[in-house]
Amino acid sequence: MAIQRTFSIIKPDATRRNLTGAIVAKFEEAGLRVIAQKRIHLTKMQAGVFYGVHSERPFYDELCEFMSSEPIVVQVLEGENAVARNREVMGATNPSEASEGTIRKEFALSIGENSVHGSDATDTAAVEIAYFFSGLELVG
Ligand code: CMP
């Protein structure tokens, strides 16, 4: 199995409730290593660029408003099959459909305030990592 990197966001609903450490523990228990991490506060425009793929969706404005409402924690996670493993640990986008033990089942408040974001593929991960981290921040 290949060692991969994936991109992760701990969203405002989770940072507000002081859940950063509890969520990091879930990643680490799943064999994912946090190799870069920082807490930032996005502008609505920065959130809009990041989520540009959803710009035609009815929830886009609400999503960008929420993601810029309070600080987030952006991370690079590394491990075997990291993209898929992270998506398993996160659980389904809608917490009402998420499996027991997943982050979204335990912590998410709604489909919008769903505590975490994770890349959906290795090429997306590379683009998302480059949006938030410079090469010097990714020494591993
Ligand atoms: P995320 O994995 O960050 O990718 C896009 C986000 O859009 C998703 O998680 C959800 O938080 C959000 N989203 C998806 N569907 C809806 C919806 N129906 N209403 C509000 N937000 C949504």
Out of 10, 50, 93, mutate this one to test ligand 1's pocket (max ligand atoms within 8 Å of CB): namely 93
- Whether residue 128 is predicted with pLDDT greater than 70 in this model: the reply is yes
Q: What share of the chain is helix, strand, coil (3-state, %, to 5)?
A: 45, 20, 35
Q: Are 53 and 87 in contact (CB under 8 A)?
A: no
Out of 7, 9, 49, 63, mutate this one to test ligand 1's pocket (max ligand atoms within 8 Å of CB): namely 63
Q: What is the pLDDT of residues 52-80, one digit of tens each?
A: 999 999 999 999 999 999 999 999 999 99
Task: Note the pTM of the prediction, 2 decimals.
Answer: 0.97
Strand order in the sheet with 72-80: 33-40, 72-80, 3-10, 116-118
Question: 111: CA distance to ligand 1 center in Å?
Answer: 6
